[in-house]
Chains A and B, each alone.
Chain A
Amino acid sequence: MEKKEYTLYNDTVMDHFLNPRNMGDVEAADGVGEVGAAACGDIMKISLKIRDGKIEDARFKTFGCGSAIASSSMATELIKGRTLEEAKNFSNQEVVDALGGLPPVKIHCSVLAEEALKAAIEDYEAKQSTVEKSAAVAA
């Protein structure tokens, strides 16, 4: 038999799984989102550094399968440099496309990335409004 390399996922997914980009936690993050997948019970955390309404840095940590790790790696790559408004419209389909596709049963892993990102933005906005409120109270 010819010796071919067989891997469970395509090359792009395998690359992001084996060499994840942006793995870790943003120091003194402006927003942190941690979400769980109802389907399989896995967990993803995304932390953001936000400057002038733009995502300056994004990092992830994931307890989950290969495609969850690859999805979080890809999602953080994609959103860096985007404005908050753009990031709020971010969809898991973008991750799936950028990864060159995921098996149907693994689509929910990319949804986890979308949800973690949105949770991080919400966290940032919630903190902002308390900052504004306390500023208002102080004034």
Chain B
Amino acid sequence: MDKRSVYLDHQTTTPVLEEALQAMLPYFREAYGSPSSLHRFGLEVREGLATAREQLAALINAESPDDLIFTSGGTEASNLAIKGFAEANSKRKGNHFVVAATEHPSVLNSIEFMTKHGFDVTQVPVDNVGRIKPEDVRAAITEKTLLVCVHLVNHDIGTIQPVREIGKICAEKNVSLYCDALAAAGWLPIDVQELGVHLLSFSPHRFYGPKGIGVLYRNRKARVTSLIHGGVQENGRRAGTENVPAIIGAGVAAEIALREMPQRIALVAALQKRLYDGLFTNIDYLKLNGPVPGPERVCNQLNLSTEFIEGEGQLLLLDHSGIAVASGSSCVSKSLKVSHVLSAIHLDHALAQGNIIMSLGKDNTNEDVDYVIEKFPEIVKKLRNMSPMWKEFEEGVIDSVIAPTGRGKSFTQHAADLSGKPAH
């Protein structure tokens, strides 16, 4: 097959829909007023924002468009959900968070920040496919619990969480629930009322909206205090002139995502299945992280570990072949640590090092997937030829984690022996 350009990193970000872009453009030079202004320039934009708010509220079935707060992105929305909620409620309610170990860094790091300011946290573990057990959440809730934080879809391994059950437990215990829906919005139907969440955040650039805009939903029962101080935009919950064009584009992207969701999900799930089947037929010592494609996994991604080779090399060679992917290997991260999600599911260090993430979008085709199925095995072969581990495995010095032969020591042990330090 000829070289193609295949973007398989939709979980990181997506291109802006044509319809969204066209809707945004007039807001740069024609309708450029500020929605806070009282003249006709401002009022026109105010109307545009109100429409976008309705479109975005519909995507998650919010009770009212007024339940949405616009922020600069998903990360700011998580920060506001956690710190803003704590600020508004901790005096009355308590100082304890319950959080899943595999949350997005914007959630974990916001909570870590709060622990430096007198808050406590209990991390709930996940099983080997990343599932949170609702009963573990129940057990972690104390009298002091202020907020439970769980994600709807894992940003790394695609696990869909039992948020509705967790919502019931929180209702029973009279504790508020914040759900990070960053990796879910646009790819899974979301109904905040049915889920029983009090706060929920998402980011439109994950479903063909623009960057620079995030959304925090909070229902009437959940008060949040602004973290950004200034004027009284967003009803005093987020100061600063709104990023109008981005909000307009996000609204259109949300409306189309809602309308086209059944077709998008069907298309992308079929590609996911094709990719999964093709790769597993053609590559040995390959492991899927997270649940198998189906009702427990989001439809648009695969998180894979290829044994005996490292992830950055795979990413670079794929990129060289025109295929863009992500990786959770320590060599890819600026902190030189493997993805905390892979650690939380107790993935062997060697497999975490061999990790890559392929995430599909609505514009990918069968040809794209077939191209990846053709190229990736060649890349794996090239890297295994270069890897001392592969030969040492063949010679029985080290063993495979994925399909143990009973000969040789584990790679992780081998690596620790060589570096004189246990691998993290």
Contacts and interface: CB of A to CB of B under 8 A. Distances in A.
Contacts of B329: 65
Given A20-B386, A43-B388, A61-B388, A38 B310 contact: no
Given A23-B386, A43-B389, A35 B418 contact: yes
A69 interface: yes
B312 A65 contact: yes
A64 interface: yes
B331 A65 contact: yes
A98 B388 CA distance: 24
Contacts of A20: 386
Contacts, number: 82
Interface in A78-116: 105
A125 to B, nearest CB: 19
B51 to A, nearest CB: 31
B388 A37 contact: no
A97 B424 CA distance: 30
B391 A40 contact: no
Interface size class of B (residues with CB under 8 A): 20 to 34
B353 A42 contact: yes
B386 A40 contact: no
B388 A36 contact: no
Contacts of A69: 313, 386
B384 to A, nearest CB: 10
A25 B331 contact: no
A41 B316 contact: no
A38 B388 contact: no
A62 interface: yes
B415 A43 contact: yes
B308 interface: yes
Interface in A45-66: 45, 61-66
Given A38-B419, A38-B420, A63 B312 contact: no
Contacts of B391: 25, 61
B312 A66 contact: yes
Nearest to B418: A36
Contacts of B309: 63
Interface string B86-125: 0000000000000000000000000000000000000000
B316 A62 contact: no
Contacts of A25: 391
Contacts of B424: 41
A28 to B, nearest CB: 15
B400 interface: no
Interface in B334-391: 334, 336, 349, 353, 385-389, 391
Nearest to B354: A63
A42 to B, nearest CB: 6
A18 interface: yes
Which residue, of B310, B389, B418, has the highest number of chain A Cβ atoms within 10 A?
A: B418
Nearest to B329: A65
Contacts of B389: 43, 63
B386 A62 contact: yes
A64 B320 CA distance: 17
12 contacts: A35-B418, A35-B419, A36-B415, A38-B421, A40-B331, A41-B330, A44-B388, A64-B310, A64-B313, A65-B310, A65-B312, A65-B331
